[in-house]
C-alpha cells in the first residue's frame, strides 16, 4: 500500500535533511510516517545519505513492545525482499535486550533513550556510558506520543534536539499537540510543522471513499461512573477507564457482583505459561508463548453460554507476564479482525494504560473526566476502525473530603485547570458526533495556555537545564536523571512469602510493582489502624541484618 499524502510529505522533508514536528490523529499512520523514510533509506540509499540507525522513543513500555513485535515481523519480509537483514531490537527496563543500542531499529522507552543521550544510561556502567551518547548522536531520532512525556523529559528532549538536530534529522509527533505547542516547538527546533488536514483525515478514515466513516458521539454524564452505567450501554465490547487503580478495582468488583464473569487469567492452567514467559529466551519464543496463553484463555472460556458477559481488569500493578497475557488477549478479542473474535460480550475496566499502545476498539467507552489530551486518546479506543459507530460517555470525578473534585492523579493546579476547561467543552458536545477537528479544538482550548506556560518556563530555565545536561554529558553525574527525565514519586512493592527465620535469600530478586508514595502511605496507615483494632502484636516490621558470630 502506498503512503498517504502527509506521509509522503514527511518522507520528502526528512530525506531532504529537514526535521519534522507532526500531528496526526490516532489510527492515521504516524508510526509508518516516521519509519517509512528510514526503511527506504536503509535499503535503497548509499551510506551517509541518511542515518543507518533509528532510535524510536516512546513514553510507555507497552508501546515499545507492540512496535517491536510489528516491525520484527515486517523485517522478516524485508529480508526476503531485499536479501538484507534489518535488525529490530527493544530496550526497556522490563526488556533490556539492547543495552548498547546496537540494533538498526531500536524501540525504547524515553528513560532509556534520554539517559543514554545524557551520558548517564540506565543500561551501562559509568565507564561505558559514552557508547550510548554516540548511538543517540548518530541516529535518526523518533519521539512518539510526546504529550505523555513527563514535563522534565519534555524540556530535556527539546533542548537535546536543538543540539542533535544539527547532525541528523528527527521527528517529534503526537495525536494531541495544541496548535500553540505545535507551532512554537517547530520554531524552537527549526523543524517543519506538519498537521494533517481534516479533509485528508476523512479520506484516510474512509480509504478514499471505499468504506463508510467511523463516528463517535460524546455524552456528558453529570454523575460518577458506576457499574450500572456500563451495563446499560453494553453491546459486544465496552471499555471503562478510571483515573486511579483503586476506582478501577472497585468498578470491576461491582460488575462481578452484578453477574459479569471474570476472564480466567488466574486459572491454574495458565501458571506454566506465566513461568515460561518470565524465562523466555528470545522475542520469538515470547510471542509464541503469548499466542499459546491467549488460546488457553479462549479454551477456558469456550464452555460458557454464548451471551456470558465477561469482564477483565487491566492496570499497571499486575506482574509483567499477567499484564502481557491480558494485553495480548485484548488485541485478539478487541482488535480490527472481528471475524477472529471468539467472545461474544466483553467489558474491559482499565486505567490510563489503555490510552496508548493497545490497538483495540469498542462500541461504548466510559471514562472519568481527565485532561483533554487523555480523553481524546481514550476515545481512540472506541469506534476505532472504518465504518464503526460508538458512544463515548464522560463522567464527573468523585468529590474529596474537602468538597473539591478528586482529579487524582492530575493533581497540579495546571492539570486541574485543564480538567475544568475540558469539562466545559465536553458539556457542550452532548450527543454530538465529534471528529478530528473538534477534538483538536478541545485540545487547543484546554491545553493551549498550559502548553505556552511550559515552553515559557523552559526558556526562563534554560541556563539551569544546560548546566544539568553538561553535568551528565561531561561529568557523568547520575543525579541529573531525576531533574531531566522523571521524578520518581512511586515506591516499588514486592510481594512474596516471608521466611520463617533468618535467610540469605534477597527479596529483591522478585518482581515488584510501583505504587505512588501517597497511596502506599495510605495503605500502611490503614494497615496499622486495622492491626490496632484487632489488637495484633505487630503489623509492620523492618528487615534486620543478622551477622554470624
pLDDT tens for 74-114 read: 999 999 999 999 999 999 988 899 999 999 999 999 999 99
Residues with Cβ < 8 Å from 186, sequence gap 6 or more? 21, 192, 193
253 Cα distance to chain centroid: 25
Same domain, yes or no: 425 and 522: no
Q: How far apart are CA 370 and CA 73, in angstroms?
A: 36
pLDDT at 357 over 80: no
Please name the residue that has the C-alpha cell 506465566: 274
Same domain, yes or no: 222 and 171: no
The alpha carbon dihedral of 111, 113, 119, 122 has a sign of positive
Residue 506: its pLDDT value, please? 67
Residues with Cβ < 8 Å from 9, sequence gap 6 or more? 194
- Domain membership flag for residue 300: yes
Residue 118: its pLDDT value, please? 96
Residue 208: its pLDDT value, please? 80
Q: How far apart are CA 502 and CA 544, in angstroms?
A: 9
Bin 431: left if φ > 0, else alpha if -120 < ψ < 50, else beta. Answer: left
- Domain membership flag for residue 464: no
Of the ranges 149-153, 180-184, 393-397, which is most confident? 393-397
Same domain, yes or no: 147 and 242: no
Range of the domain at 67: 5-202
Same domain, yes or no: 186 and 152: yes
Omega of the bond leading into 436 within 30 degrees of 0 (cis): no
Same domain, yes or no: 184 and 222: no
> 411 — phi, psi (to 5°)?
-105, -15
Q: How far apart are CA 302 and CA 311, in angstroms?
A: 15
Q: Pick the closest to residue 330 from 376, 302, 290 (CA basis).
A: 290
- Domain membership flag for residue 271: yes
pLDDT tens for 243-288 read: 999 999 999 999 999 999 999 999 999 999 999 998 888 878 988 9
Same domain, yes or no: 26 and 145: yes
- Domain membership flag for residue 341: yes
β-pairing, 20-23 with 364-368? unpaired
> 343 — phi, psi (to 5°)?
-100, 125
Flag the least confident range among 11-20, 155-164, 490-499: 490-499
Residue 510: its pLDDT value, please? 67
Q: How far apart are CA 156 and CA 461, in angstroms?
A: 11
Q: How far apart are CA 475 and CA 469, in angstroms?
A: 10
Same domain, yes or no: 119 and 231: no
Report the pLDDT averaged over residues 173-197: 91
Burial class (CB in 10 A: 0-12, 13-18, 19+), 344: middle
Residue 392: its pLDDT value, please? 98
Share of the chain above pLDDT 90, in %: 70
pLDDT at 508 over 80: no
Bridge partners, 432 (sequence order): 218
Residue 386: its pLDDT value, please? 84
Q: How far apart are CA 245 and CA 314, in angstroms?
A: 9
Instruction: Using the 3D structure, point to which of 139, 170, 202 is the last residue of a domain.
Output: 202
CATH number at residue 33: 3.40.50.300
Q: Check: CB of residue 429 under 8 Å from CB of residue 218.
A: yes
- Residue 273 exposure: Cα atoms within 13 Å on the Cβ side: 23
Share of the chain above pLDDT 70, in %: 96
Same domain, yes or no: 271 and 183: no
Same domain, yes or no: 151 and 218: no
Same domain, yes or no: 289 and 413: yes
**Could you give the C-alpha distances from 259 to 124, 163, 247, 362, 436, in angstroms and in order?**
50, 57, 19, 20, 37
Instruction: Using the 3D structure, point to which of 155, 177, 202 is the last residue of a domain.
Output: 202
pLDDT band at 157 (very low <50, low <70, confident <90, very high): very high
Q: How far apart are CA 360 and CA 372, in angstroms?
A: 20
Same domain, yes or no: 180 and 41: yes
- Domain membership flag for residue 69: yes
β-pairing, 20-23 with 105-109? unpaired
Angle at which helix 198-206 crosses helix 436-460, to 10 degrees, equals 130
Q: How far apart are CA 311 and CA 240, in angstroms?
A: 10
Take residue 417 and report the three cell numbers written for it.
485547570
Instruction: Using the 3D structure, point to which of 139, 172, 202 is the last residue of a domain.
Output: 202
Q: How far apart are CA 420 and CA 423, in angstroms?
A: 5
pLDDT band at 379 (very low <50, low <70, confident <90, very high): very high
- Domain membership flag for residue 375: yes
Q: How far apart are CA 364 and CA 383, in angstroms?
A: 8
Q: Pick the closest to residue 365 from 26, 133, 40 (CA basis).
A: 26
Bridge partners, 54 (sequence order): 105, 140
Report the pLDDT averaged over residues 427-454: 92
- Domain membership flag for residue 450: no
**How many structural domains comprise the chain?**
3
Mean pLDDT of the chain: 91
**Could you give the C-alpha distances from 382 to 125, 337, 515, in angstroms and in order?**
44, 15, 29
Flag the least confident range among 64-73, 309-318, 533-542: 533-542
Same domain, yes or no: 378 and 412: yes
- Domain membership flag for residue 483: no
Which strands make up the sheet holding 20-23, listed edge to edge?
88-91, 105-109, 54-58, 140-143, 170-174, 20-23, 192-195
Amino acid at each position: 500500500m502506498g503512503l498517504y499524502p502527509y506521509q509522503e510529505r514527511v518522507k520528502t522533508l526528512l530525506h531532504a535533511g529537514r526535521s519534522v514536528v507532526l500531528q496526526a490523529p490516532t489510527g492515521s499512520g504516524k508510526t509508518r510516517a516516521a519509519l517509512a523514510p528510514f526503511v527506504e533509506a536503509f535499503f535503497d540509499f548509499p551510506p551517509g545519505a541518511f542515518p543507518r540507525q533509528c532510535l524510536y522513543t516512546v513514553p510507555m513500555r507497552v508501546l515499545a513492545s507492540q512496535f517491536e513485535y510489528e516491525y520484527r515481523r515486517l523485517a522478516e519480509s524485508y529480508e526476503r525482499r531485499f536479501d538484507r537483514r534489518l535488525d529490530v531490537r527493544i530496550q526497556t527496563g522490563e526488556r533490556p535486550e539492547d543495552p548498547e543500542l546496537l540494533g538498526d531499529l531500536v524501540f525504547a522507552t524515553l528513560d532509556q533513550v534520554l539517559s543514554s543521550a545524557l551520558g548517564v544510561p540506565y543500561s551501562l556502567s559509568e565507564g561505558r556510558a559514552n557508547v550510548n551518547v554516540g548511538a543517540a548522536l548518530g541516529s535518526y531520532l523518533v519521539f512518539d506520543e510526546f504529550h505523555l512525556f513527563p514535563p522534565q523529559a519534555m524540556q530535556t528532549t527539546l533542548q537535546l534536539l536543538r543540539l542533535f538536530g544539527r547532525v541528523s534529522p528527527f521527528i517529534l509527533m503526537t495525536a494531541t499537540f495544541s496548535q500553540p505547542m505545535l507551532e512554537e516547538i517547530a520554531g524552537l527546533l527549526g523543524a517543519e510543522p506538519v498537521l494533517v488536514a481534516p479533509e485528508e483525515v476523512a479520506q484516510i478514515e474512509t480509504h478514499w471513499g471505499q468504506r463508510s466513516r467511523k463516528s463517535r458521539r460524546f455524552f456528558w454524564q453529570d454523575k460518577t461512573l458506576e457499574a450500572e452505567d456500563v451495563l446499560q450501554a453494553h453491546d459486544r465490547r465496552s471499555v471503562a477507564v478510571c483515573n486511579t487503580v483503586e476506582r478501577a478495582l472497585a468498578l470491576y468488583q461491582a460488575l462481578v457482583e452484578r453477574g459479569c464473569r471474570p476472564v480466567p487469567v488466574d486459572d491454574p492452567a495458565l501458571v506454566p505459561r506465566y513461568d515460561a514467559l518470565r524465562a523466555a529466551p528470545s522475542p520469538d519464543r515470547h510471542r509464541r508463548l503469548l499466542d499459546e496463553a491467549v488460546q488457553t484463555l479462549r479454551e477456558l472460556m469456550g464452555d460458557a453460554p454464548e451471551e456470558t458477559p465477561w469482564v477483565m481488569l487491566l492496570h499497571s500493578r499486575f506482574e509483567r507476564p499477567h499484564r502481557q497475557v491480558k494485553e495480548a488477549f485484548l488485541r485478539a478479542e478487541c482488535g480490527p479482525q472481528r471475524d477472529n473474535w471468539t467472545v461474544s460480550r466483553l467489558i474491559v475496566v482499565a486505567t490510563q494504560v489503555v490510552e496508548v499502545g493497545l490497538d483495540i476498539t469498542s462500541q461504548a467507552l466510559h471514562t472519568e473526566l481527565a485532561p483533554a489530551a487523555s480523553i481524546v486518546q481514550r476515545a481512540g479506543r472506541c469506534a476505532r476502525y472504518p465504518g464503526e459507530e460508538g458512544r463515548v460517555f464522560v463522567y464527573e470525578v468523585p468529590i474529596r473530603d474537602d468538597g473539591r473534585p478528586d482529579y487524582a492523579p492530575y493533581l497540579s493546579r495546571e492539570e486541574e485547570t485543564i480538567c475544568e476547561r475540558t469539562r466545559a467543552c465536553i458539556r457542550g458536545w452532548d450527543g454530538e458526533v465529534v471528529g478530528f477537528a473538534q477534538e483538536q479544538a478541545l485540545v487547543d482550548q484546554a491545553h493551549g495556555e498550559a502548553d505556552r506556560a511550559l515552553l515559557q518556563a523552559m526558556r526562563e530555565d534554560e541556563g539551569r537545564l544546560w548546566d544539568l545536561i553538561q553535568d551528565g554529558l561531561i561529568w557523568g553525574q547520575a543525579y541529573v536523571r531525576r531533574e531531566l527525565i522523571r521524578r520518581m514519586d512511586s515506591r516499588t512493592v514486592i510481594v512474596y512469602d516471608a521466611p520463617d527465620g533468618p535467610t540469605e535469600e534477597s527479596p529483591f530478586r522478585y518482581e515488584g510493582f510501583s505504587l505512588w508514595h501517597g497511596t502506599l502511605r495510605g495503605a500502611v496507615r490503614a494497615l496499622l489502624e486495622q492491626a490496632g483494632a484487632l489488637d495484633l502484636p505487630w503489623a509492620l516490621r523492618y528487615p534486620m541484618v543478622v551477622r554470624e558470630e
